[in-house]
Chains A and B, each alone.
Chain A
């Protein structure tokens, strides 16, 4: 490694604070973030090189060297460091701002270019055409959102375009119909929530998407939103309000929990399997929804629910957050493997989750590890099977 003297840029830290990294200088450099980071649980270059504490320190001092893909773009924004930080810092915000600075200078990582391009032209990150946004509804009775509709179902782009993930959208829709909820979709006109693209540093793309959605939601008279993804939930709840978009937002597991309790959804058929629940970072740590998904699992007749070694606020990321879903992570460094190993050790028949990213990442690990005797399912799919 070349050891050229580093010239500090004293303005860097101030610029981070100004543009959203308010907690940067609260950091006392204790290293708990680095020690708590899921990258410590895997092997490889990123694990060796990505050090949350050090990135904060470099930003504070204005010293370069953090900008590479393996360092700055390693963070999955899982939030364990935010949860634990003794100084209440938010390394995710700081990292996001640093990424945005790199983005403005034009050196976005290669993997994100098609994603950002597709978001700008199609309104989704998956290179799907806008008109195909509702393809998942094929042969289903899916109402359009109208003046008298109570809930907007906002389906994550992933579940609109990814063939595996479409099943989640269909299961949620089927359940809403079974429960007799007043719901509808907007479809073609809506666009990606923008959560992930903001995390990779494309602030401008996020703003465009968010403003578009807020406008459309406003025109349609949307008051209440159900999301299939915890990432959309996060964005609508925590990012849209300051842009003028105030809605009552629920993750679908929260609504299902309520509908079951009220007797509007009745899981009647047996689901005689051992189920282990993986807390998605954005459902758990970022939105503090821990009970609802567990209640739903517990309502499945004959299902036996067990917990992972690390669950709840301590859960380990699937590896797909913060834009990592579009990055290649080498074998041996995939967090999804950790979740599969834990579930297999607990002899689970089903690894259940409630996030389209988690489903993709963990399913990929499950297949790569040859553990297909264990199913990776979204809770909606399980509930729909027996209701």
Chain B
């Protein structure tokens, strides 16, 4: 009979994966936490504020990072991808590929050696709204808090030459493969925003000032591309009038037939950003129906703000005045059966959630996914999807779900 391992593989270092890893470790399991990018934190680390408390995600993440640092049972592998999983429940061999950071372990100063580098690469932390250096600490909430060379930078000869001159850089480091033995698997690779350019009539590709809700989150963040000032991308003008277009892709048979669950609350939350930023700030929310789920009181609080306008109608068009750059959102206002054409500075599309597993499947046989690519739990194989790998959820539901999965693992 094959050996039975109690150790746990957690894939994905976002809020769900981090939670699952530390909770499992605190219940006594050996945990391997594998994250594809060079830092833990996932999409949560790119948030400005959580709803409904409107606090930054920093403290919650820091507490979790601290728990991970203090717990020898969690081993964290960043810049690491899972290539292959073989075996069965209790006895899995997992092949992982580790991309080097191309930074010497002896480094003492993680910042100054890279200061002279020019920011030339799109910064994915800011959803491409700013540029990053070819070598730097990914962002101020990164864990580990270490610089990394973006492998993309090595494709350009002159950048590569610049990097080679830096003492702390070591481009001779090689990609490594290793095998991990585990008994159970928690899959927490999260989600990505729906590609808004596929909804032609919302003009995401055409107008710079039509952005997605994750991009707006970065605009509002102090550590974002505008240092938290709500400036519209086209001309840097203050975005005092902002339209939020709900269900941008979600609840649409041609796009994402399911409700993405968080976008209503996200837009309600984001409407407070513009109200906080400017005394005369104003928001319009175009919705089919508001699904505030467990946060009805938050919704009511926003409804009481007379500068936040709720327009019942799925927006059907965005127009732009070429002179002022103003955008106009065209929609029915169903409560009055009127048509509206609201002039705004910025349009924020509440784009839906696509599970990462829609494209990147778990590299093992015998698992099932639903019609939209969400992974279905398989207790017989001890493979458990958590958070947005299972269905669209907000941060707190994701944390609860991840904790619950640890108890399921504990029974194996």
Query: Does chain B have a CB within 8 A of A386?
Result: no
List chain A residues, Cβ under 8 A from B255: 86
A40 contacts across to B, CB distance below 8 A: 316-317, 330, 339
A54 contacts chain B at the CB level, 8 A cutoff: yes
Interface residues of A in 19-35 (CB under 8 A from B): 28-35
Name the contact of A32 in the complex, choosing from B200, B316, B337 (C-beta under 8 A): B316
Question: B247 contacts which chain A residues (CB < 8 A)?
Answer: 30, 86
Contact of B334 among A31, A84, A88 (CB under 8 A): A31
**Closest CB in chain A relative to B343 CB, distance in Å:** 16
- Nearest Cβ in chain A — how far from B255, in angstroms? 8
B253 with A31: CB separation less than 8 A: no
Of the listed stretches B67-75, B132-140, B307-315, B361-369, chain A binds B307-315
- B118 interface residue, CB < 8 Å from A? no
A-B contacts at CB below 8 angstroms, number: 64
A87 CA / B254 CA spacing, docked (Å)? 8
Looking at the complex, which one of A28, A51, A84, A314 makes contact with B332 (CB distance below 8 Å)?
A51
Task: Give the residues in chain B near A28, CB-CB below 8 Å.
Answer: 251, 288
Tell whether B212 is near chain A: CB-to-CB under 8 Å: no
Tell me the count of chain A residues lying within 8 A, CB to CB, of chain B. Answer: 21
Q: Does A266 contact B (CB under 8 A)?
A: no
Within 8 Å CB of A33, what residues of B? 316
- Interface residues in B149-190 (C-beta closer than 8 Å to A): none
User: Which of these, B254, B312, B317, B331, contacts A86 with CB under 8 Å?
Assistant: B254
Q: Which residues of B contact A305 (CB under 8 A)?
A: none
Per-residue 0/1 for A61-99: is the Cβ within 8 Å of any B Cβ (1 yes, 0 no)?
000000000000000000000001011100000000000
Contact B251 A35 (CB under 8 A): no
Q: Which residue of B lies closest to A47 (CB)?
A: B339
Closest Cβ neighbor of B206 among chain A residues: A309
Tell me whether B201 is interfacial, beta carbon within 8 Å. Answer: yes
Q: Is the interface of A mostly helix, strand, loop or mixed?
A: helix
A313 to B201, CA, bound (A): 10
B252 at the A/B interface (Cβ < 8 Å)?
A: yes
Is B316's CB under 8 angstroms from A54's CB?
Answer: no
Given contacts A31-B331, A31-B334, contact A36 B339 (CB under 8 A): no
Convert B293-320 into 0s and 1s, putting 1 for each residue whose CB lies closer than 8 angstroms to a CB of A.
Answer: 0000000000000000000111111000
Most B-side CB within 10 Å, residue of A32, A40, A88: A32
Asked, given contacts A28-B288, A86-B254, whether A36 binds B201 with beta carbons under 8 Å apart, the answer is yes
Instruction: Produce 1/0 per residue, A40-65, CB < 8 A to B.
Output: 10000001000101100000000000
Whether A35 and B254, one on each chain, are in contact in the complex, defined by CB atoms closer than 8 angstroms, is: no
Given the known inter-chain contacts A30-B288, A53-B332, A53-B334, please indicate yes or no for A35 contacting B315, CB distance below 8 A: yes
Contact between B253 and A29 (Cβ–Cβ < 8 Å)?
no
Q: Is the CB of A31 within 8 A of B312?
A: yes
Whether B339 contacts A35 by the Cβ 8 Å rule is: yes
Asked if B332 contacts A87 (CB within 8 A), the reply is: no
Whose C-beta in chain B lies nearest to the C-beta of A35? Answer: B316
Known: A30-B313, A87-B253, A88-B253. Is A35-B331 also a contact (CB below 8 A)? yes
CA distance A47 to B252 in the complex (A): 26
- In the bound complex, residues from chain A placing their C-beta under 8 Å from that of B331 are 31, 35
In the assembled complex, the Cα of A314 lies from the Cα of B315 at a distance in Å of 15
Q: How far is the CA of A47 from the CA of B332 in the complex (A)?
A: 12
Q: Which of B315-342 contact A (CB under 8 A)?
A: 315-317, 330-332, 334, 337, 339
Q: In the assembled complex, which residues on chain B have CB atoms less than 8 Å from the CB atom of A47?
A: 339
A54 touches B337 (CB 8 A): yes
Cα of A37 to Cα of B330 in the assembled complex, Å: 11
Contact of B314 among A35, A88, A313 (CB under 8 A): A35
Chain B nearest Cβ from A305, distance in angstroms: 20
Question: Which residue of chain A lies nearest to B334 when distances are taken between CB atoms in the complex?
Answer: A31
Closest chain A residue to B316 by CB distance?
A35
- Chain A's closest residue to B341 (CB) is A40
- Give residues in A with beta carbon < 8 Å to B: 28-37, 40, 47, 51, 53-54, 84, 86-88, 313-314
6 closest Cβ pairs, A-B complex: A35-B316, A86-B252, A31-B332, A31-B313, A30-B314, A36-B316
5 contacts across the A-B interface (CB closer than 8 A): A40-B317, A47-B339, A53-B332, A54-B337, A84-B316
Q: A30-B313, A314-B200 are in contact. List 10 more A-B contacts (CB 8 A).
A: A29-B334, A30-B288, A30-B314, A31-B288, A31-B312, A31-B314, A35-B317, A54-B337, A84-B254, A86-B252
